[in-house]
């Protein structure tokens, strides 16, 4: 079967790190994990007398169904699903098959998926998978990029650079400071990502433990929910309909969108710095920049990053707007949307890798940076007029405006102007040194 998405074709290797969390097989495995852990937790409730407490050997065997889940297990569940037309029910039937082979569990099979609705399993499965993807892949890659960016900022902190505001020459800055603008913004968002936690819903068909109470009215099911959901590393939801309302995914989507938007801005600025000659790109001998123009060395890594971040952002924006809305106690429109969560993370990961690659291929052209700055001595006008104001010279701004706005000036002409100013000699020398 030919891949439809470039994430499974051209870019497959680049996003392999996400497959353990967002492939359909990964989701099936997570469902198995939730179901067996729920079964074990039920067996430990004193009030569920009809279910014998799972012993260590049985627990190891049950957890092994998730730990050693493989393609054969996945294909068996898919085979059952072709009959049931329901993926979570297929997981239940699969687990009953496997659990019947574990000594001592044959008469306890009806406690698999006991009182649960599909969303109890699905939302918890997505929750643990997203946590793992964030901790093991998304955060490490972003932190690695942030580290590279901070190194670039440190190495260029003393390189004076011509600013452009509204695309026009402006007060000089330093290249390192401009890199730190993005590093500090990204760092703040990654700190929030590190603290983020998914929520977990457990409450049956309409969120009120109706089926659970029908069987065991004396059990405090809310306390059980708290303990079980927290054991998965998720935040328990107290009031829900049939589904997790997905406010957690909306919060995460907004956070990922902010990260991606910062990186889009960085990609575009790097593209422009390369275009201006601030950065030169390393030439790889056998690479081709253009199929027609032999001289070209294109900033493709930053262009690819911008494009893929846009795709990721579009999906995350849709998740944030769509997922928290469900008709009355439940509709199924969220289910098909959730299946593309991995795609959004995939394009984000692809983009971060492109940015890291791009940073590894650039170097500062100090001569070009100096030439550009030297070509625009008029940008010192702001500093001159501020010194004039400091010494109480009336109309300082207007004087410099008349001298420089829209005019081509030289360092020499500005030095002559500075020499005539009615300010202390030390100030004159300091302003001249800026030119």
Question: What residue spans in the chain does CATH classification 1.10.40.30 cover?
Answer: 376-433
Determine the pLDDT at residue 359.
97
Is residue 291 scored above 60 in pLDDT? no
Query: In this predicted model, what pLDDT tens digit does every residue of 78-105 receive, in sequence order?
Result: 999 999 999 999 999 999 999 999 999 9
Q: Catalytic annotation on 131?
A: no
6-114: CATH architecture: Orthogonal Bundle (1.10)
Question: Which residues, 6+ apart, have CB-to-CB distance to 291 below 8 Å?
Answer: none
Question: What residue spans in the chain does CATH classification 1.20.200.10 cover?
Answer: 129-364
Is 350 in contact with 11 (CB distance < 8 Å)? Answer: yes
| CATH class of the domain whose range is 129-364 | mainly alpha
Q: What percent of the chain has pLDDT over 70?
A: 97
Question: What residue spans in the chain does CATH classification 1.10.275.10 cover?
Answer: 6-114
Rg (CA), the chain: 31
Mean local confidence (pLDDT), 29-35: 98
Determine the pLDDT at residue 285.
62
In the 3-class helix/strand/coil scheme, how is 270-329 assigned residue by residue? HHHHHHHCCEEECCCCCCCCCCCCCCCCCCHHHHHHHHHHHHHHHHHHHHHHHCCCCCCC
Mean local confidence (pLDDT), 389-417: 85
Query: What is the average pLDDT score of the chain?
Result: 94
Determine the pLDDT at residue 199.
98
Mean local confidence (pLDDT), 315-338: 95
**Burial readout 383-403 (b: 16 or more C-beta within 10 A, e: otherwise):** bbbebbeeeeeeebeebbeeb
Determine the pLDDT at residue 426.
87
Q: Could you say which of 144, 155, 275, 290 is catalytic?
A: 290
Is residue 201 scored above 70 in pLDDT? yes
Report the C-alpha gap between 150 and 135 in whole angstroms.
21
Structure tokens at 19: 């497959």
Question: Residue 223: CA atoms inside 13 Å, Cβ hemisphere, count?
Answer: 5
Is 306 in contact with 269 (CB distance < 8 Å)? Answer: no
Max distance between CA atoms of the chain, in angstroms, equals 101
Determine the pLDDT at residue 284.
66
Determine the pLDDT at residue 287.
65
Determine the pLDDT at residue 2.
84
**Burial readout 157-183 (b: 16 or more C-beta within 10 A, e: otherwise):** eebebbeeeeeebeebebbbebbbebb
Q: Terminal CA-to-CA distance of the chain, rounded, Å?
A: 65
Structure-model confidence comparison of residues 409 and 184, the more confident one = 184
Is 151 in contact with 198 (CB distance < 8 Å)? Answer: no
In the 3-class helix/strand/coil scheme, how is 43-95 assigned residue by residue? HCCCCCCCCCCCCHHHHHHHHHHHHCCCHHHHHHHHHHHHHHCCHHHHHHHHH
Is residue 331 scored above 60 in pLDDT? yes
CA angle 129, 130, 134 (to 5 degrees): 120
Query: In this predicted model, what pLDDT tens digit does every residue of 157-179 receive, in sequence order?
Result: 999 999 999 999 999 999 999 99
Is residue 221 scored above 80 in pLDDT? yes
**pLDDT band at residue 294 using 50, 70 and 90 as cut-offs:** low
Structure-model confidence comparison of residues 274 and 293, the more confident one = 274
Q: Catalytic annotation on 290?
A: yes
Is 320 in contact with 246 (CB distance < 8 Å)? Answer: no
Is residue 417 scored above 70 in pLDDT? yes
Determine the pLDDT at residue 292.
46
- The DSSP line for 106-133 is GGGGGGTTTT--HHHHHHHHHHHHHHHH
Is residue 333 scored above 60 in pLDDT? yes
Report the C-alpha gap between 227 and 239 in whole angstroms.
16
What does DSSP say about strands 279-281 and 235-236: parallel, antiparallel, or unpaired?
A: unpaired
What does DSSP say about strands 235-236 and 199-200: parallel, antiparallel, or unpaired?
A: parallel
**pLDDT band at residue 274 using 50, 70 and 90 as cut-offs:** very high
Residues pairing with 364 in the sheet: 279
Pick the CATH number of 376-433 from 3.30.365.10, 1.20.1530.20, 3.30.465.10, 1.10.40.30: 1.10.40.30
Is residue 115 scored above 80 in pLDDT? yes
Residue with tokens 């699903």: 81
**pLDDT band at residue 38 using 50, 70 and 90 as cut-offs:** very high
Mean local confidence (pLDDT), 210-236: 98
Q: Nearest to residue 388, comparing CAs of 431, 325, 359?
A: 431
Structure tokens at 92: 């239940």
Is 118 in contact with 91 (CB distance < 8 Å)? Answer: no
The DSSP letter of residue 103 is T
- The DSSP line for 388-425 is HHHTT-TTHHHHHHHHHTT----HHHHHHHHHTSSS-H
Structure-model confidence comparison of residues 136 and 293, the more confident one = 136
């Amino acid at each position: 079967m030919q891949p439809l998405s470039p994430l499974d074709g051209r870019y497959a290797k680049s996003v392999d790190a996400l497959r353990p969390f967002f492939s359909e097989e990964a989701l099936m495995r997570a469902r198995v994990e939730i179901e067996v852990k729920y079964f074990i937790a039920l067996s430990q409730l004193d009030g569920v007398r009809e279910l014998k407490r799972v012993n260590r050997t049985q627990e190891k065997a049950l957890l092994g169904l998730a730990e050693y889940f493989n393609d054969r297990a996945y294909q068996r569940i898919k085979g059952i699903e072709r009959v049931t037309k329901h993926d979570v029910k297929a997981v239940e039937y699969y687990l009953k098959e496997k659990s019947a082979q574990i000594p001592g569990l044959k008469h306890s099979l009806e406690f698999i998926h006991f009182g649960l609705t599909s969303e109890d399993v699905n939302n918890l499965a997505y929750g643990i998978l997203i946590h793992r993807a964030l901790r093991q892949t998304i955060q490490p890659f972003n932190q690695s990029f942030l580290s590279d960016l901070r190194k670039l900022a440190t190495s260029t902190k003393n390189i004076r650079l011509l600013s452009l505001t509204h695309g026009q020459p402006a007060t000089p800055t330093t290249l390192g400071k401009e890199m730190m603008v993005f590093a500090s913004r990204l760092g703040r968002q990654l700190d929030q990502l590190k603290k983020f936690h998914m929520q977990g819903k457990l409450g049956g068909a309409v969120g009120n433990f109706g089926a659970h109470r029908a069987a065991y009215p004396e059990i405090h099911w809310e306390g059980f929910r708290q303990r079980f959901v927290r054991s998965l590393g998720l935040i328990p939801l107290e009031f829900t309909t049939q589904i997790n309302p997905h406010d957690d995914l909306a919060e995460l989507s907004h956070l990922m969108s902010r990260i991606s938007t910062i990186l889009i801005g960085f990609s575009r600025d790097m593209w422009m710095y390369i275009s201006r000659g601030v950065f030169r790109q390393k030439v790889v001998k056998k690479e081709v920049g253009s199929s027609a123009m032999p001289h070209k060395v294109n900033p493709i890594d930053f262009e690819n990053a911008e494009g893929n971040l846009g795709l990721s952002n579009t999906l995350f924006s849709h998740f944030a707007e769509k997922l928290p809305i469900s008709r009355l106690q439940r509709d199924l429109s969220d289910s098909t949307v959730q299946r593309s969560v991995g795609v959004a993370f995939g394009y984000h990961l692809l983009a971060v890798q492109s940015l890291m690659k791009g940073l590894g291929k650039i170097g500062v052209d100090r001569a070009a940076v100096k030439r550009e700055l030297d070509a625009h001595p008029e940008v010192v006008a702001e500093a001159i007029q501020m010194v004039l104001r400091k010494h109480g010279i009336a109309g300082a701004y207007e004087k410099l405006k008349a001298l420089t706005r829209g005019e081509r000036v030289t360092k020499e002409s500005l030095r002559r102007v500075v020499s005539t100013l009615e300010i202390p000699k030390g100030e004159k020398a300091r302003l001249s040194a800026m030119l």
